[in-house]
Amino acid sequence: MTEGILDGKLALVAGVANKRSIAWAIAQALHGAGARLAFTYQGDRLEDSVRKLAETVGSDVVVPCDVSSDESIEAAFDQLGQRLGGLDILAHSIAFAPAESFEGRFIDTSRHAFVTALDISAYSMVAMARSAEPLMAPRGGGAMVTLTYMASERAFPKYNVMAVAKAGLECSVRYLAYELGPAQIRVNAISAGPVRTLAAKGIPGFDQMEAVIEARSPLQRNIEAGDVGNAALYLCSPLASMVTGTTLYVDSGYHAMGM
């Protein structure tokens, strides 16, 4: 049903670390719908694996981008502009907080951990959106999507400062949607249930999160990365042409529950 719905569209997927990454599931969904893909990766360590994955979806546009550096973001978007000639879709699937911030009490979060988590996990969306805007606006608009988690709204033990970063990210989505709306650029977030990825390994109690979803969510089973990929495809496609500034839950309905 969605085959060809993104024919001719240019999409940047940021945050592929390996084939388990949510970003990779998004890339596959966008590719399946006809989009031409480009990728960013953080450091030399990941270049080979991202290039190999990119090849399998017919892409050789793979550029470095460390979102903790303005220069790196600017250089990446310069290259993307030259290689693609514009952009229609930005999928931002990036987060980081120092490991120790998941271990102790939230109250003991260091200034450094707080600033780092907010910088990499929330500010990076603002910075990438700013660089993407001039590539999208001349094409008549575009769509941006980012990944969040419900710990932004309620206390999830040990998610700690990352929850604060996700709250900042969701709020940023609303402001970006407001400011970019006149250029017909839509900005949305997906609040995903737990998915076993590299980043998830760093979260204590992850097994328990999965068990709770099975026991208490309306659908009584855990989501897969592909479910998030499909939701991202919807948000980035004309099917969601009047949807912006929102958070879409892909969490087996868990957010609807009181207990």
146 touches 125 (CB < 8 A) = yes
Among 33, 90, 94, 144, which residue sits at the site for ligand NAP (rule: CB under 6 A)?
Answer: 94
Find out whether 6 and 28 touch, Cβ atoms under 8 Å. no
State yes or no: residue 142 binds ligand NAP (CB under 6 A). Answer: no
Binding mask 64-93 for ligand NAP (x = CB under 6 A): -xxxx------------------------x
Active site residue 159: yes
Stretch that binds ligand NAP, among 61-69, 78-86, 127-135, 234-242 (CB under 6 A): 61-69
**Which one among 13, 35, 147, 233 touches ligand NAP, defined by CB under 6 A?**
147
Site for ligand NAP, residues 160 to 189, rule: CB under 6 A: none
Long-range CB pairs of 206-212 (<8 Å, 24+ gap) are 209/156, 212/254
Q: Are 162 and 97 in contact (CB under 8 A)?
A: yes
How many CB atoms neighbour CB 95 within 10 A? 20
List the beta bridge partners of residue 89: 11, 143
* 11 or 67: CB nearest ligand NAP: 67
Contacts of 25 (CB under 8 A, 6+ apart): 224, 225, 226, 228, 229
Q: Which one of the spans 26-34, 97-105, 141-149, 210-218 is the region binding ligand NAP (CB under 6 A)?
A: 141-149
What number of chain residues touch ligand NAP (CB under 6 A)?
Answer: 28
Residues near ligand NAP, by CB under 6 A: 15-17, 21-23, 42-43, 46, 65-68, 93-96, 120, 147-149, 192, 194-195, 197-200
